Chains A and B, each alone.
Chain A
Amino acid sequence: MNDMNHDSYVTPDGRTIGPVMMEVQNITLRFGGVVAIKDISFDIREGEIRAIIGPNGAGKSSMLNVINGFYHPQEGGIYFRGEKRGPMKPYQIAQQGIARTFQNIALFKGMSTLDNIMTGRFTHMKAPVWKQALWHGEAEREEIENREVVEKIIDFLEIQAIRKTPVGRLPYGLQKRVELGRALAAEPKLLLLDEPMAGMNVEEKEDMSRFILDVNDEFGTTIALIEHDMGVVMDISDRVVVLDYGRKIGDGTPAEVIANPEVIDAYLGVSHD
């Protein structure tokens, strides 16, 4: 790593962006003959909002799946806070402080909003099973402490009214919000969001953008998000990676990226939804 990676800088809106938190190096991922990701490298800095954009099938979701351990790339490596990551299972990566949401909502359908978000506290709860079984001191105390944290998230996301509702009954936009809540409950260092605003109307998108900015601002959470809406990307992200057909074709500030001819070609030449 060069020296620049250790520098911090202050954004025009006054947020401090720290040194590199995660470095993705020369990742190649193949499914049989299909090359989903081809020799991609980029980094994510502490405290920044990093967008990943690109046409359909560009390999964006696959990239998140590599980062949180669902896919194992054939080549390349990932450095988290300076250390090369060995082969890890998704739950171990979660324990390192990386949380995410999915492109297609992946909530626990049979559980209430509250229980979904409480489940997000999993890695913060330590009472042994026998104490849970007896609802003994530590287990009960831990349950209440974590409930308090969850209630703050519920207030923050303004979903108090649906606290006890089974999530399967909620409209799409609220489900996306609950899924964000579940990821936030883990108090992640790095939060990965796969199209958090897909399928939302303008108002819902504005709410979601505000939540993302607030999470970043209030909790200092580093965020990497995939988004198709260029307006949103321009508004909220500090830096953007552009993928096309599994290759990286652009990387920089939003203004740099939209001025990049290759990016313009990719977006004009490929139809997307």
Chain B
Amino acid sequence: MLYREAGDYKTSYTDDAQTFPIKLDRWWYYAVVFVAFCIVPFVLTDYTVNAIMLPFLIFAIAALGLNILTGYCGQVSLGTGGFMAVGAYATYKLMTAFPDLNIFFIVILSGLITAIVGVLFGLPSLRIKGFYLAVATLAAQFFLVWLFNKVPWFYNNSASGQISAPERTIFGQAVTGPNAEPWVAYLFCLIFVFTLAWLTRNLTRGRIGRSWMAIRDMDIAAEIIGVNPLRTKLSAFAVSSFFIGISGSLFFAVYLGAAEVGEAFGIQKSFLVLFMVIIGGLGSIFGAFAGAAFMVLLPVFLKIFFVDTLGWPTDIAAHINFLIAGGLIVFFLIVEPHGLAALWRTVKEKLRLWPFPH
């Protein structure tokens, strides 16, 4: 048998509630963490870091964040790009105002600031739902981009209207700025991804996670068991925006180095992250990673195949990218709302009993 849970008995509720109840899954998880922390940093090249690893890690954080709000709590948001911008501009302002403050804390503070902004924009969610809430968050997206463009204070009156990240170090290693080594940038982001994924797991398996899902599945029933709808929705907005703010902070400071708000954090980013969550699987942590990996890798593979191998023009490859992503969105929305994560689960369920299906 390739994959089994037979004979893997649980003797306590602690065992039963653990993250990877099946032994083989647990080993896989340890292996992935080991490779990510101890092997990948040594084999990275500039290209793999910039084209694949950093975007994957940073968008995985955003996808985890949006998944908390949309996948777990059922509140649709099209404001992800705007909230990433809040994280980025908070980071810029903090970096320039407090040059001695450690970049690690700046990233976390930026997440907290974004959480507060997210709660403000989440307030209408008590009264409006679904489509209307999506439109309200879309308004937030446009408002935030407009704000960061219009008010020179946010970009310290720079002539270009851009923000750029000065060099900051941790243990003497540059994390931001042109001198940052690929492996340092990678490890810095990886630590955030690892910690935030672990926090998501804990939150979603406990009381607050159940209250999010209760609001998502049947809000009146949630209320009659004592769940305060406004507080619950706002807590989802807060946690989600915290994640998205961190993602925006890293995207600007570690990945881009310099950014212009409309280009870096426009509505396309909101859709990109939403697509990651839908394709990966609503309400699944694994799904957030799968979706982020898919949306980051797809254009890379298409470019290698169509442009580098077949010699087609780049814009055709880009169009094919849209076609595939769009087609998959429609497919998943209609056929499998739980995305790649659910397909993976089905495969596992088949393997679990193999070769003795019942």
Contact = CB atoms under 8 A, between A and B. Distances in A.
Interface in A228-273: none
A107 B218 contact: yes
Contact of B225 (A111, A132, A144, A186): A186
Given A108-B217, A110-B213, A111-B217, A132 B206 contact: yes
A132 B207 contact: yes
Contacts of B214: 108, 111, 119, 122
A106 interface: yes
Interface string A103-143: 00011111100010011101101010100111100011011
A182 B207 CA distance: 14
A94 interface: yes
Given A70-B220, A135-B206, A119 B13 contact: no
Interface in A186-208: 186
A110 B216 contact: yes
B225 A123 contact: yes
Contacts of B199: 133-134
Per DSSP, are chain B's interface residues mostly helix, strand or loop, or mixed? helix
Contacts of B223: 89-91, 94
Nearest to A121: B207
B224 interface: yes
Contacts of A125: 207
B229 A118 contact: no
B226 A143 contact: no
B352 interface: no
B14 interface: yes
A107 B221 contact: yes
B9 to A, nearest CB: 14
A100 interface: yes
Contacts, number: 103
A99 interface: yes
A143 B17 contact: yes
A198 B174 CA distance: 68
Given A102-B221, A118-B210, A144-B13, A91 B228 contact: yes
Interface residues of B, number: 28
Contact of B203 (A91, A95, A132, A151): A132
Given A108-B217, A110-B283, A111-B210, A133 B202 contact: yes
Interface size class on chain A is: 35 or more
B211 interface: yes
A182 B225 contact: yes
A122 B228 CA distance: 11
A221 interface: no
Nearest to A125: B207
A148 interface: yes
A68 B17 CA distance: 33
A30 interface: no
Contacts of A127: 206-207
A151 B16 CA distance: 13
Given A99-B225, A100-B224, A119 B218 contact: no
B161 to A, nearest CB: 37
A115 to B, nearest CB: 6
A108 B17 contact: no
B283 A122 contact: no
Contacts of B221: 102, 106-108, 182
A119 B210 contact: yes
Most buried by B among A99, A119, A127, A140: A119
Interface string A161-183: 00000000000000000000011
Nearest to A164: B16
Given A89-B223, A94-B223, A147 B217 contact: no
Contacts of B216: 110
Q: Which of A110, A129, A182 has the largest number of chain B CB atoms within 10 A? A: A110
Contacts of A123: 225-226
B11 to A, nearest CB: 13
Contacts of B226: 91, 94-95, 122-123, 186
A106 B225 contact: no
A197 B188 CA distance: 58
Interface in B208-249: 208, 210-211, 213-214, 216-218, 220-229, 235
B207 A120 contact: no
Contact of A110 (B203, B217, B229): B217
Nearest to A140: B14
A202 B228 CA distance: 38
B14 A144 contact: yes
A122 B17 contact: no
Given A110-B213, A133-B199, A133-B203, 20 more contacts: A70-B220, A91-B223, A94-B225, A108-B218, A108-B222, A109-B218, A115-B213, A119-B213, A119-B214, A120-B225, A122-B214, A123-B225, A123-B226, A125-B207, A129-B235, A134-B199, A139-B202, A139-B207, A151-B13, A183-B225
15 contacts: A91-B226, A91-B228, A91-B229, A99-B225, A100-B224, A102-B220, A108-B221, A122-B225, A122-B226, A132-B206, A134-B199, A134-B202, A147-B13, A182-B221, A183-B225
Interface of B: 13-14, 17, 199, 202-203, 206-208, 210-211, 213-214, 216-218, 220-229, 235, 283
Interface of A: 68, 70, 89-91, 94-95, 99-100, 102, 106-111, 115, 118-120, 122-123, 125, 127, 129, 132-135, 139-140, 142-144, 147-148, 151, 182-183, 186
- Top 5 closest pairs, chain A to chain B, by CB: A108-B217, A94-B226, A106-B221, A123-B226, A135-B202
